[in-house]
Amino acid sequence: MAPASSRAKRVIWGLLGLVGALLLIIAAWLVVPILTNSPQGQSGQPLHVDGFPTSVSAVGDDGRERTLAVELESSDRGLDQLQAGDRLTVSAAGYDAGSGVYVALCKVPDELGVKPGPCLGGVGAMEEQDTVVADVVEYAPSNWINDDWAWRLFGSRSFDDREAGTFTAFIEVPPAVDENVDCREVSCGLYTRNDHTALDDRVQDLYVPIAFGE
């Protein structure tokens, strides 16, 4: 009969093997969709938007009609007079819940087909944190919408309704200038775009123009 210590070692190595296999399966489940993602085209929104509307809509190359609406907590000013610390409630509909979405204040690109950015405060900081609690309003310079449970561990919020492609984001406006972009000198907007799982897909690039007041 094998000594107890030998049996214990075999059990430990067996458990380690199972854990390793499970981690490989999870890694493959997360990485394979990123590697196999096929861009769906453009969002259908023109590069330049007149004025400072509080909502925009467009039909993308994937046939979806997306709507993006922004409400400023301070009703005495418009989206052309933002100040650091302002709070924006963002409502969206028609998005593809199969892809995660970043919501942030970003530089409008110089031409269609180019990823919006840089973005004030950055986007998609994947620092492991407590799962966002449903129905709890938490304002931040950017929001990340992704339903996959693994990404929830890194701070993403859920879609409100996957079938309808609706979600709500809560943005606290950062200063107009950081080390990457100066939204006093270039055109910026409150943007949605696909997250790191589909970085090259421009089909969910929708924006509402914004500007900062004095």
Compute mean pLDDT per 10 residues along the chain, 214 residues long, and list them. Answer: 64 66 53 62 95 97 97 90 96 94 96 94 52 63 84 72 96 95 97 91 97 91
- 121 and 28 within one domain: no
Helix, strand, or coil here: 163?
coil
Q: Do 28 and 45 sit in the same domain of this protein?
A: no
pTM reported for the whole predicted model? 0.78
* One domain, residues 13 and 86: no
**Are residues 52 and 19 located together in one domain of the fold?**
no
- Residue 138: what pLDDT? 82
**Are residues 11 and 65 located together in one domain of the fold?**
no
10 and 100 assigned to the same domain: no
| Whether residue 32 is found in the same domain as residue 45 | no
| pLDDT attached to residue 125 | 45
Same domain? 121 vs 71: yes
Give Cα 156 distance to the centre of its chain: 8
Same-domain pairing of 12 and 108: no
The enclosing domain of 120 has a CATH number of 2.60.40.230
> By residue range, what is the domain housing residue 124?
41-214
Q: How many domains does the chain have?
A: 2
| pLDDT at 147 (0 to 100) | 83
**φ and ψ at residue 14, rounded to 5 degrees:** -65, -45
Same domain, yes or no: 47 and 65: yes
pLDDT, position 16? 65
Residue 37 confidence (pLDDT): 59
- E-strand spans in the chain? 55-59, 65-72, 87-93, 101-107, 142-145, 167-172, 188-194, 206-210
Same domain for 27 and 118, yes or no, is no
Same domain flag for 31 and 54: no
Whole-number pLDDT of residue 116: 95
